[in-house]
Chains A and B, each alone.
Chain A
Amino acid sequence: MKHVQQLFLIIIAGFTLCQACDEPNFEMEDYQSKIVVDGWIEQGKFPQVLLTLSAPYFSDIDSASLRDYALTRAKASISNGEVSEVLTLKPNNVYFPPYLYVGTSIKGEIGKTYTLTVEYAGITAVATTTIPIPVTLDSVWFALEPNQDSSGLLWLKFTDPVIEKNYYRTLTQVKNEDSKYIPTYFPNFNDEFFNGQEISVSLYKGNKTSTNKEDELYYTLGDTIMLKATSIDKSSFEFWNSFQKEIINTGNPFASNNARVKSNVTNGLGIWCGYGSTYYQIIAK
């Protein structure tokens, strides 16, 4: 489906006979900040949770105010239904904000459900996620695009399990280039059209951030690419899928304005996502 969306964007761009880009003025009412969760748990790993507050839309954000939105005085805890653990705050220099809530005793297990509870300033935000069974890929390879000397895509082939509905999300990290795993371009897909079949999927390189849309869409010959192929649950998929549309479609008159990001966090925004992951390393040659 991802190409369809891309095509639509191109069609839209072609249709738009842009006359001038002015900056209209809007007056905003008071905005009440909400707790924003960006957390994940993988099999065999401790949970990691980034907490921030949402900001009024037009407030300028610089390094000083950005740090104000980082939530460092919240109480975050996770539970696997049997035991629970309060997460501890640690500095990090990979993600924003530069503080990460991490666990030290509960590790992710396949098939289990985890509840995250965040308490801050009298507000309690709660989210639940499950780690689905990871899917093993049959093969992964890099292939140059037609008529290109050095640009190519990452391809993967796997067999979708018949029984349940499967949701996938793919992330890559180019060695010596990226400091973390970055979602590929249109990283979320499900088995609606290939349930139980063997399927080949091509992956375009994702943008590092939504603010930098000029990133190269292709992987380069010689790259060492780390692939994280994950299975996620339905509510996580719905979040990521709607989140991606939100980032792409905002303000686009050709897109419906009824869709909203489907958060799995009650009383807050964002995502608490369980990943059933498998890792691969590919040298682009």
Chain B
Amino acid sequence: MARIVILYFLFFTFTSNLIAQQLFRLSGSVTDSVTHEYLPNASVEILELQKGTVSDGSGRFELELPPGTYQLRVSFLGYKTHEFSIPLAKNETLKIRLTPISVEVGSVTVSSRKPDENVTSVQAGVLQIDSKQFSKLPTLMGEPDIINAIRLTPGVQSVGEGNTGIYVRGGDAGQNLILLENMPLYNPSHLLGFFPVFNSDILGQVRIIKGGIPANYGGKASSVIDLAMKEGNRERFCGSGSIGLLSSDLTLESPLSKGKGSLIVSGRRTYLDAIKLLSQPFIPSSKNFFEQTNYYFYDGSIKFTHQLGSKTRLTLAAFGSKDTYTLTDNEFSVSNKMNWANIAGNANIKHTFSDNMAMGYTLGITNYFFEIDAGFNTYKFNLYSGVRDWFQNLDFTHKLTDKSRLKYGVAYTRHLLTPNKVAIDVEKVNFSNTNQYFSNEGSIYLQGDYSFNSNLSISAGLRQTYFQHVGPYTQYSRNEVGQIDDSTVYEKNQKVIDFLTWDPNLSWVYLLTNQSSVKGTFSITHQFIHLASVGTVSLPTDVWLPSTQFIEPQKVGLVTLGYFRNFFDNVVETSVEAYYKKMSNQIEFLNGVLDNFDNTKMEQNIITGSGKAYGIEFYMKKQLGKTTGSISYTLSRTLRQFDEINSEPFPAKYDRIHDLSITLNHELSNRWNLSAVFIYATGNAMTLPTGRYIIQGNVANDYTAVNSFRMPAYHRLDLSATCQLMKRNNWESSLIFSVYNVYNRANPYFIYFQVKGDIDKYYLSVAPKQISLFPILPSVTWSFKF
């Protein structure tokens, strides 16, 4: 493997030197003149040559030009365009500082991307969201939530109330690669999605890839959510934070080593438990909900960057979040505690070898676990489920010519999955059972971008992955009565089974005019770590399982085709995109999680099936002016086929026929900003009984088809108003008033059936009952920045 990389390295370095001989390098960085933050995706144009580039994720750009004097125009939405001339007779490095317009005219919605990217970028189904953009949207408790902002985009299911899962183009909640500063996270969520899991003050650029996933991303089959953490301020100490009704957060930034490095630290904590303490004197304990339950979470993140010389940069980042929920009931002698947590950290080194070549190396660990500790009289019970990954990636980016660019690299992950570890103690009888799986996942990839001419560009790539399930592992076989009668023991690192997969991808764009284009993508992706949902909603108790001899890797094929058109000089963006997705080796629990405590091997409770999804997405967005907003509508179907569940294909539980979301933001004055979100979605598919029968006085249900009924439609309007308070040199603060579910719609969360009457008295009636989660919820948050 290493040899291949070196060969690539030598080959490309050699060829690019040949090409680059007659040219000089114009490189530099683009920063915000006030905050000194680097600005990714700023546009840098050479007016004479009608060519240009955009700054990368860390605000840097590079161009190769023949000697001469050039007029440069550097622009970025929400900032004053900067134009100047520069003579180029040698390699030059520039520091360009753009002045935000918001300093002069009050805050403006800013999008950190090229103005015409919607039309020109080769990647279809890629969305970029800027933290400033989604911060303005109304939220549940006044806290901006990137996951909810992502849900408002086309192809991503809009409804997330009580469900932390993200469903992209018919893929399930476990098929999204969620990367925070290159750290993969499993199930990042707080209780029922009530609170956002990522603090918006630390987020920089966010990329959502729904189709044609480039080969540098691997491991998850449906989408990539790539969240970059903001870099700390390099010029001065500063901070931001907010105080809300249920939680507060604080973010601090500081330069280090005289501007050579920086640090950003952020933390958040809820205080529901404090509310409990305060409420105790006023509410009698028998009526106090908090008397028996307690919930809190905290999360935090840190990012440290340091420039090691002019060409090398070191980044250390870490993220942690932990939720704790406890319930005690003395009457029933019940006590239980649930914890779930995400902890991840990594180190990254970026090195620029030459004008055309850069390298990145990442080494890190990510850990997710869920734990229940329960007691019931003399009965003690502990359940643990978790994932731990050690990962490292080596990536090269390589610019061959102005028209072609290569990315290639290798990745290795060591997975340790513990789907369930159970310890039970009943009256001196102890029982414990641990299911653990060790696996190795190694990949090599190559991704190339090429522009044939000014109209046609393509991006194509291939990722090869070798996945291995290794010991220690014991494989049991059972006799006819289900008792274990034989076992095969695998030693540490001894191979149990392996898989080799190829993931190709292709994206292309054809510009029809400078305001319109046609784009298409094709990709095949594999996934080796599977999420088995225990219920109909996404929960922290959902279990991650690796591919074993019983569970083959999931495979997803996706084809998309879309038309993109901008209007009014890129102020209004529109697109129509159709997709077709085919999925195989999808997994489900046959029985509920309750059965998993009994199983010696959890994989025996897993069934596999296939699925398909297709849909058409409409999107319109106005991104400049006093009034901005977007309309996103998706018409789609998602079907599943599991022979053990139903003989016919049936709608997936998250099958959404109509999914509409509208966002609106209006700059009323320098002080007031108003925003609104409206969501409408077809109700969830659900299985309903069609008949019922009586056994021993108990009423049971008879089912005929899976997911053939629909819950009532989901719709909701949220509003918010932001009032800018005092604003001095380095201090500003604002009050955010938000109202969630303005017209108090009782949206169905789940439906159950209440049987009334008594069979012995010959009277029975059955009525469906609906549980809804959040009524109208007003909230106020004070946020500040210094």
Q: Which residues of A contact B (CB under 8 A)?
A: 1, 3-8, 10-11, 14-24, 26, 28-29, 31, 33-34, 36, 38, 52-58, 60-63, 66-67, 69, 95-96, 145-146, 164-165, 183, 192-195, 197, 199-200, 208-212, 234, 243, 245-247, 249-261, 269-271
Contact = CB atoms under 8 A, between A and B. Distances in A.
A34 B689 CA distance: 14
Interface in B456-486: 481-483
B759 A257 contact: no
B334 A10 contact: yes
- Closest 9 CB pairs between A and B? A251-B752, A63-B762, A256-B592, A209-B697, A253-B750, A210-B698, A54-B693, A61-B764, A36-B693
Contacts of B765: 60-61
B103 interface: no
B597 A19 contact: no
Given A24-B768, A256-B591, A258-B591, A29 B695 contact: no
Interface string B286-303: 000000110000000000
Contacts, number: 245
19 contacts: A14-B292, A18-B772, A23-B770, A28-B690, A54-B691, A54-B693, A57-B702, A66-B763, A96-B697, A145-B377, A192-B598, A200-B427, A209-B758, A210-B755, A246-B700, A255-B534, A257-B686, A259-B592, A270-B695
B497 interface: no
A3 B764 contact: no
Contacts of B590: 256, 258-259
A269 B701 CA distance: 10
B691 A57 contact: yes
Contact of A247 (B429, B644, B698): B698
A10 B329 contact: yes
B753 A96 contact: no
B758 A66 contact: no
Given A56-B691, A57-B691, A145-B377, A250 B701 contact: yes
A253 B749 contact: yes
B751 interface: yes
A158 to B, nearest CB: 13
B452 interface: no
Interface stretch (B23-31, B260-268, B535-543): B535-543
A197 B541 CA distance: 32
A19 to B, nearest CB: 4
A19 B760 contact: no
Contacts of A4: 374, 381, 424, 594, 597
Given A10-B332, A199-B429, A212 B758 contact: yes
Contact of A20 (B589, B699, B775): B775
Nearest to B532: A256
Interface string B724-744: 000000000000000000000
Interface string B693-723: 1111111111110100101100000000000
A165 B481 contact: yes
Interface string B279-316: 00000000000001100000000000000000000000
Nearest to A257: B687
A264 B765 CA distance: 27
A57 B688 contact: yes
Contacts of B760: 96, 208-209
A56 B704 CA distance: 11
Contacts of B693: 34, 36, 52-55, 269-270
